[in-house]
Amino acid sequence: DQQVKQNSPSLSVQEGRISILNCDYTNSMFDYFLWYKKYPAEGPTFLISISSIKDKNEDGRFTVFLNKSAKHLSLHIVPSQPGDSAVYFCAAIALSGTASKLTFGTGTRLQVTL
């Protein structure tokens, strides 16, 4: 049962253009959403997050949008740079007592071309 889904395994975008990565979820108990970036041979690195009480969060070139009614979130990267080429994971948290496990999607490989 995949509670967090990233339906696009890969995405190719030209340098300078906008990259839009999408994520859907099924569990309405999720309180918090995060995006992680992963390079080969490294662990995931936190990018940006959003609480379920908000619909947008911005940090420099990265903006995350949350549509709770559609159970959908997206990550926008503007402008895209070659160094953004990596695998991006969407993750969600449902608080359970004092524990807070991350539920990840399967990832989208972004390639930013020159």
Instruction: Tell me how far apart the alpha carbons of residues 34 and 32 are, in angstroms, rounded to a whole number.
Output: 7
**Looking at beta carbons only, is 77 or 93 nearer to another protein?**
93
Indicate the residue among 80 and 105 with the shorter CB distance to another protein: 105
Site for another protein in 43-102 (CB under 8 A): 43-46, 49, 89, 91, 93, 96-102
Q: Could you tell me how many residues of this chain bind another protein (CB under 8 A)?
A: 27
Which residue number, 10 or 14, has a Cβ lying nearer to another protein? 10
3 contributes a contact to another protein by CB under 8 A:
no
Applying CB under 8 A, the residues found at the interface with another protein are 4, 6, 32, 34, 36, 41-46, 49, 89, 91, 93, 96-107
